[in-house]
Amino acid sequence: MSVLLCRDIKLQHLVDLLSRYGMSLEHVDASNNIPGSFWQPPEAGLIGNRLYIRDDTPVHSALHETCHYICMDSTRRLKLDTDAGGGYEEENGVCYMQIILADHIHGMGKQRMFSDMDQWGYSFRLGSSRSWFEQDAEDAVSWLQQHGILDENCLPTFALCK
């Protein structure tokens, strides 16, 4: 099974999710490069509060870059152009959050996100994204809660990092 691509979902679901975080979606023609793509196409790109995708962009990539925007501080957000930066704890928060937000994209959901992350090559010390999420992500949850991104029930607050 191949990973879920942006062409396989209703982009309005992604637009609606992004708008809750003050972000917008820019769809790029298949023949063009993706502005702000750190890893290059088909990976999603970030410039300011704009997420750039093509039809062949994996949904996990779109959500991962979205979560970088959510998890970075306001100073970095103001200067954001391609390289989201961030440290180890923030990256764990980004990975955890993209799994949480997967349930907000019809056709994705957590189970598909686990599969796509594993297939794409995300690496976790327990061997899979699901094992990490369920058994080893307490530090990510704590970080997200301390920064006001998740509430005490591990639900998104739809707030940006404090």
Percentage of the chain surpassing pLDDT 70? Answer: 99
The DSSP annotation for 52-99 comes to EE-TTSBHHHHHHHHHHHHHS-HHHHHH-BS-----HHHHHHHHHHHH
Q: Are 118 and 133 in contact (CB under 8 A)?
A: no
CA distance 37 to 53: 9
- State mean pLDDT over 5-22: 97
pTM of the predicted model as reported, rounded to 2 decimal places = 0.95
- State mean pLDDT over 47-64: 97
Q: What angle do CA 15, 21, 24 make, to 5 degrees?
A: 40
CA distance 64 to 101: 10
pLDDT tens digits along 71-128: 999 999 999 999 898 999 999 999 999 999 999 999 999 999 999 999 987 777 778 9
Reported as a pLDDT band with limits 50, 70 and 90, residue 69 is very high
Percentage of the chain surpassing pLDDT 90? Answer: 88
Residue 49, burial from CB neighbour count under 10 angstroms (0-12, 13-18, 19+): middle
Quote the pLDDT of residue 43: 95
pLDDT tens digits along 17-38: 999 999 999 999 999 999 999 8
φ and ψ of 131, to 5 deg? -60, -45
Tokens for 90, please give them: 């923030």
Neighbouring residues of 108: CB distance < 8 A, sequence distance ≥ 6: 4, 9, 59, 63, 102
